[in-house]
Amino acid sequence: MATAASSLTFSTSLPKLCRPFSISITHLPQVSLNFKKLNCSISSALKISRRTAATTTKASSMASSGITTVDQKNKKVVEVFDTEDELAVSLAKYTADLSDKFAKERGSFTVVVSGGSLIKSLRKLVEAPYVDSIDWSKWHVFWVDERVVPKDHPDSNYKLAFDGFLSKVPIPPGNVYAINDALSSEGAADDYETCLKHLVHTGVINKSSVSGFPKFDLMLVGMGPDGHVASLFPGHPLLQENQKWVTHITNSPKPPPGRITFTFPVINSSSYIALVVCGAGKASVVQTALGKSQNSDVFPVQMVSPEGELKWFLDKDAASKL
């Protein structure tokens, strides 16, 4: 495991983007919307089965542990856990399995994280058996969105991930791609996009043969109570961005206002997306996205439709209206 240090210098091999930076750490340290997929009833669209039993169960009883629903056509899986702790155990295994798969297949594993409660849900990865069994040297870590603040600021998604996860595993520092926080929001977004282009060019990040956008191996993302993902908020024009890989927002409804964010074409080119949603405050949006709600709003989370597999990790509170 990585050890704490009072001052760490992270550097990347990139001259322009993801420039080398220092941080002092005191304590250790194709947007084509497929509306056919949206608002469909789970009972009609998904094959529902118990993971641990051979019996078929009804959609209305989803809110109990170990129930998996599979939409084979759209490669969508919904799993509901009794507790967030059980969810975290399953999320760690899912991530570790994909790490093994991609490390073997392509010699690197490109992982994108969000901020928010997701980072806490990754805590089992830094425990046995995964902390010792995962080949962390193959990991390359990116942010699906970042607040444009210094890296040691309490609002920084980098700091959140570093304190809760990255400082506890031996990922090579040069494989951790933080934003250049010396730039404006617009400059940081352009800089991050140039960084991604370099890494696609050098083959670290795959490129989608379908969309032409970067194809990350795994995105681990949360969802806000308003249905936002990354920094793509309901009703915002950025939802329609279909050219840029990374864009910026200066009026985020969730503070702080200045952020960069991946666009939907990048998100939806992914091989795997784990959408991690916990808490009763998110149950209504989950119901609209996955259940029988008559709500005609289209939340950003409903625009998540990767080339590969989408897996929802829900706790029973978030699934309580299904």
Ligand X SMILES: O=C(O)[C@H](O)[C@@H](O)[C@H](O)[C@H](O)COP(=O)(O)O
The residues that touch ligand X, with contacts defined as CB under 6 A, are: 114-118, 145, 147, 157, 222-224, 228, 230, 254
Q: Encoding tokens for residue 172?
A: 């090579």
Tell the smallest beta-carbon distance from residue 210 to ligand X (Å).
Answer: 25
Tell the smallest beta-carbon distance from residue 23 to ligand X (Å).
Answer: 18
Taking CB atoms, the residue at the shortest distance from ligand X is: 116
Q: Is the peptide bond before 256 cis (omega within 30 degrees of 0)?
A: yes
- Cα 248 versus chain centre, distance: 17
212 CB-near residues (< 8 Å, 6+ apart): none
Tell the smallest beta-carbon distance from residue 277 to ligand X (Å).
Answer: 8
Residue 314 to residue 80: CA distance in whole angstroms: 5
Q: Report the phi/psi class of residue 37: left, alpha or beta, with left for phi > 0 and alpha for psi in -120 to 50.
A: alpha
CA dihedral (258, 259, 263, 267) in degrees, to 10, reads -160
Q: Is the peptide bond before 129 cis (omega within 30 degrees of 0)?
A: yes
Give 70 or 301: the residue with its C-beta nearer to ligand X.
301
Tell the smallest beta-carbon distance from residue 110 to ligand X (Å).
Answer: 18
Give 146 or 190: the residue with its C-beta nearer to ligand X.
146
Tell the smallest beta-carbon distance from residue 146 to ligand X (Å).
Answer: 7
Give 116 or 172: the residue with its C-beta nearer to ligand X.
116
